[in-house]
Amino acid sequence: MIQYTCDLCGCMINSDSNKRFVVKLEIYPIDTSLEIVPMDSDTDPIELMEKMIESANEIEIEELPRNETRRFDLCCGCHKKFSTDPLGRKTSRKVYFSSN
């Protein structure tokens, strides 16, 4: 039998019940230089393509950020909390320092 634990609170989730939720998160960079923009009538599309290929050859593979995919198992309670505040803005803990 597979045992699941909630990735937020750490409680055990019974695999026999339907009370388990999966959150899949995909993080990827957006390259704004590749956005499609309307061309002027004076622009030569072949010349533009050559420039794009030349600039792509100059980029080092190691410089490019990689795509990330992550998967989290959540219990019913944490699912409710996550669905109302997915980025944790409301529940983030504030740190207060004394003035001394």
Q: Identify the domain containing residue 54 by its residue range.
A: 4-30+42-84
Q: Give me the number of domains the chain comprises.
A: 1
Please check the confidence at residue 20 and state whether its pLDDT lies above 90.
Answer: no
Using the structure block, give the residue that is written with the tokens 């992550």.
70
Nearest Cα residue to 68 out of 25, 98, 35: 25
Does 94 map to a domain?
A: no
Look at the alpha carbons of 90, 7, 17, 22 in this order and tell me if their dihedral is positive or negative: positive
Looking at residue 47, what is its pLDDT? 84
Nearest Cα residue to 87 out of 11, 27, 28, 18: 27
Looking at residue 6, what is its pLDDT? 92
Does 71 map to a domain?
A: yes
Does 24 map to a domain?
A: yes
pLDDT in tens, 35-65: 666 666 777 878 888 887 777 766 665 566 7
Does 37 map to a domain?
A: no
Does 36 map to a domain?
A: no
Q: Mean pLDDT of all residues in the chain?
A: 79
Does 54 map to a domain?
A: yes
Distance of alpha carbon 80 from alpha carbon 75, whole angstroms:
9
Better pLDDT: 40 or 86: 86
Dihedral pair phi/psi, residue 24, rounded to 5°: -110, 130
Does 89 map to a domain?
A: no
